[in-house]
Structure 1
Amino acid sequence: MRLHLWLETEDGQIFGLGRAQLLAKIAAYGSLKKAAEDLGMSYRAAWGKIKKTENVIGSKLIVRSGPRRDGYELTDLGKALLEAFDVWYGEVERMALERARTLFPWPIEGFGRDPERSSEPGTTEVDSG
């Protein structure tokens, strides 16, 4: 079983697993460039996703850190959004997996995640979010 969950408004997608993975990688590496490379996307695409979300919500998710040109860290809002999405995604995924197992006559397994643990950005493939 695989779920695709995201948040969007009339202005388009705000946040999904791809953006969660991107923020998690930025937090881990302290670098937007390294985060983008690790996820197989261009710096420009990664920057565009971050800027789209920031423009729609009206707040920064990342800020420059240190003297390095590509050095970034998550803002408090970026950290809170990542954590909230993780909790929400994990809860929905566990509930959906449990329900699917009661409804369908074949074995249902999660896709690349341990259903007993919370969602972990970076453990599944990047989607368009």
Structure 2
Amino acid sequence: MSNKPHKHLAGSHLKVQARLMLDEEIAFGPGKADLLDAIHATGSISAAGKQLGMSYRRTWMLVDSMNRCFQQPLVETATGGAKGGGSQLSALGVEVLKHYRELQAAIDLVTREHFPVFQPWLRSSPLPATA
């Protein structure tokens, strides 16, 4: 089976993303992975949120959710002082992020293999919402 898109669906893109659910709460997913990457890069929860275009409150809520869902915090924070506070990924946070990125890469590979099956059934773009 060819992986070339049909002409009328050249813009179509099938995207499948992994979410780790703990009961009804999203323990980890693509947005939280991006947030961990940004915290690692900036050393700050608030700077990471700004980098991702998230409000301060939303950023802290996501960190809190991750830290509540895992047996150990994924993000560790330091309080102020002469140098100010800061945040970093815990050892578990580094491991969770690494394995999540590997899982997503495997899902992306499988998605590319199966996209030709779904492609003929998809519209070139979604219809407008009716409500």
Q: Unpaired runs of 5+ in structure 1?
A: 107-129
**Counterpart in the other structure of 1:44:** 57
Task: State the distance in 2 between where 1:14 and 1:57 align.
Answer: 8
Q: CA deviation at 1:38?
A: 1.1
Alignment of 1:90-101 (within 5 A): 90-101=105-116
Q: Give TM-score scaled by structure 2 length.
A: 0.72
Distance 1:56 1:64 in 2: 17
Bigger Cα Rg:
2
Q: Which runs of 4+ in 1 moved over 6 A?
A: none
Amino acid paired to 1:90: A
**Percent of aligned pairs sharing the same letter:** 27
Q: What's the counterpart of residue 26 of structure 1?
A: 39
Calculate the TM-score normalised by the size of structure 1.
0.73
* Counterpart mapping for 1:1-129 below 5 A: 1-65=14-78, 67-69=83-85, 71-101=86-116, 103-104=117-118
Q: Distance in 1 between matches of 2:21 and 2:119?
A: 34
| Superposed CA RMSD | 2.0
In the alignment, the residues of structure 2 paired with residue 64 and residue 12 of structure 1 have an alpha-carbon distance, to the nearest angstrom, of: 23
1:58, distance to aligned residue in structure 2 (A): 2.8
Residue identity in the other structure for 1:10: D
